[in-house]
Chains A and B, each alone.
Chain A
Amino acid sequence: MINPQPGVATMKRYFFALTLTLVLAGLFAGAVLAQGTTPTDDEVNKVAKQLFCPVCESTPLDVCPTEACRQWRELIREMLADGKSEAEIKQYFVEHFGARVLNEPPNRLASYAVPVVAFLLGAFMLFRGFQMWMKPSKAGTGVPVEEAKPIPQDDYIVRLEEELKKKK
Chain B
Amino acid sequence: MIAQFGFGVLVVTFLVTLYSVFAAVYGEYKKSPSMVESARRAMLLTWPLLTLTAGVLIYLLVNNHYEVQFVYEVTSRSMPTYLKVTAWWGGQAGSLLFWSWLMSVFASLVTIRKWDRDREFLPWVIVVASITMAFFLGMNIFFENPFAQLYQGFDGVNAHTFQPANSILVTPADGRGLNPLLRHPGMVIHPPMLYLGFVSFVIPYAFALAALITGRTDDRWIRLTRRWALWAWLFLSFGLVLGGRWAYDVLGWGGYWGWDPVEIAAFMPWLTGTAFLHSVMIQEKRGMFKHWNMLLIILTYSLVIFGTFLTRSGVLSSVHAFAQSAIGPLFFAFIGLSLITSVALLIYRWDSLRSETTMTSLLSREALFLLNNLLFMSILVVCFWGVIYPLISELFTGNKITVGPPFYERATGPLFASLMLLMGIAPLSAWGNSTVKTLGRAIWKPAVLAVAITVYTYFTYTQNIIALIGFFLIALVILVTLYEYWRGANARQKGQGENILTAFWNLTGRNRRRYGGYIIHISMMLMAIGILGIEIFQVETQGRVSAGETLSLANYTIEYKEIASWDDNPKGVNFTRAVLDVYENGIYLGQLHPRKDYYFESQQSMTIPGERATLRDDLYVLLVDWEPSTMEGATFKVFVNPLVNWLWLGSLLFLVGIFIAAWPDQDPERVTVRAGRRLPQTSAADD
Q: A and B: partners?
A: yes
Where the two chains meet, the residues of A that have a C-beta atom closer than 8 Å to any C-beta of B are 40-42, 45, 52, 57-58, 60, 62-63, 65, 70, 98-106, 110-112, 114-115, 118-119, 122-123, 126, 129-130, 133-134, 136-137, 145-160, 162-164, 167
Q: Could you write out 8 A-B pairs with CB less than 8 Å apart? A: A102-B401, A111-B385, A111-B386, A118-B378, A118-B381, A145-B433, A151-B431, A157-B430
- Residues of chain A within 8 A (CB-CB) of B403 are 104-105, 111
List of A residues within 8 angstroms of B362 by Cβ: 130, 134, 145
Query: What B residues does A154 contact at CB under 8 A?
Result: 285, 430-431
Contact across chains for B402 and A101 when beta carbons are under 8 A apart: yes
In contact, A105 and B431 (Cβ under 8 angstroms): no
The answer to whether A148 and B360 touch across the interface, beta carbons within 8 angstroms, is yes
The total of Cβ contacts below 8 Å across the A-B interface reads: 177
How far, in whole Å, are A52 and B260 apart by their CA atoms in the complex?
Answer: 12
Check B374–A126 contact: CB distance below 8 A.
Answer: yes
Beta-carbon contact of B683 and A145 below 8 Å? no
Task: List chain A residues, Cβ under 8 A from B92.
Answer: none
Instruction: Determine how close the nearest CB of chain A comes to the CB of B596; give it in whole angstroms.
Output: 9
Contact B374 A42 (CB under 8 A): no
Q: Count residues on chain B whose CB falls below 8 Å from chain A CBs.
A: 74
**Residue among A150, A159, A167 with the highest chain B CB neighbour number at 10 A:** A150
Cβ contact within 8 Å between B487 and A52: no
CB distance from A77 to the nearest CB of B (A): 12
B residues bordering A, Cβ < 8 Å?
A: 251-254, 258, 260-262, 285-286, 316-317, 355, 358-362, 367, 370-371, 374, 377-378, 381-382, 385-386, 389-390, 393, 399-407, 410-411, 415, 430-438, 487-488, 490-491, 494-495, 511, 514, 540-544, 605, 607, 625, 635, 637, 683-685, 687
Chain A residues with CB under 8 Å of B605's CB are 65
The secondary-structure label for the interface of chain A is helix
Instruction: Kindly provide the distance from the CB of B123 to the nearest chain A CB, expressed in whole angstroms.
Output: 33
Contact status A41-B684, CB under 8 Å: no
Q: How far is the CB of B303 from chain A (nearest CB, A)?
A: 16
- CB within 8 A of A163: which of B377, B410, B435, B683? B683
Q: Which residues of B contact A145 (CB under 8 A)?
A: 360-362, 433, 435
Q: Is the CB of A58 within 8 A of B260?
A: yes
Contacting pair B491 A63 (CB below 8 A): no
- Chain A residues with CB under 8 Å of B495's CB are 163, 167
Assess A157 versus B431: contact at CB under 8 Å? Given A115-B411, A136-B358, A163-B683. Answer: yes
A156 touching B399, Cβ below 8 Å: no
Residues of chain A within 8 A (CB-CB) of B402 are 52, 58, 99-105
B258 and A58 form a contact (CB under 8 A): yes
Given A41-B543, A154-B285, A159-B687, verify A104-B407 contact (CB < 8 Å).
Answer: yes
The reply to whether B389 and A158 contact each other, CB–CB distance below 8 Å, is no
Q: A125's closest neighbor in chain B, by CB?
A: B374
Contact between B359 and A133, CB atoms less than 8 A apart: yes
- Using A58-B402, A147-B435, A153-B285 as known contacts, list a sample of 6 further A-B pairs with CB atoms less than 8 Å apart, ordered by residue number in A: A41-B541, A102-B402, A103-B406, A111-B389, A154-B285, A157-B431
Closest to B687 in A: A156
Q: Is A126 a contact partner of B433 (Cβ separation < 8 A)?
A: no
Residue in B399, B404, B436, B491 whose beta carbon sits within 8 Å of that of A164 in the complex: B491
A105-B687 contact given A111-B407, A151-B433, CB 8 Å threshold: no
List the B side residues contacting A45 at CB < 8 Å.
540, 542
Instruction: Say whether A42 contacts B431, CB under 8 Å.
Output: no
Task: Return chain B residues, CB-CB under 8 Å to A106.
Answer: 401
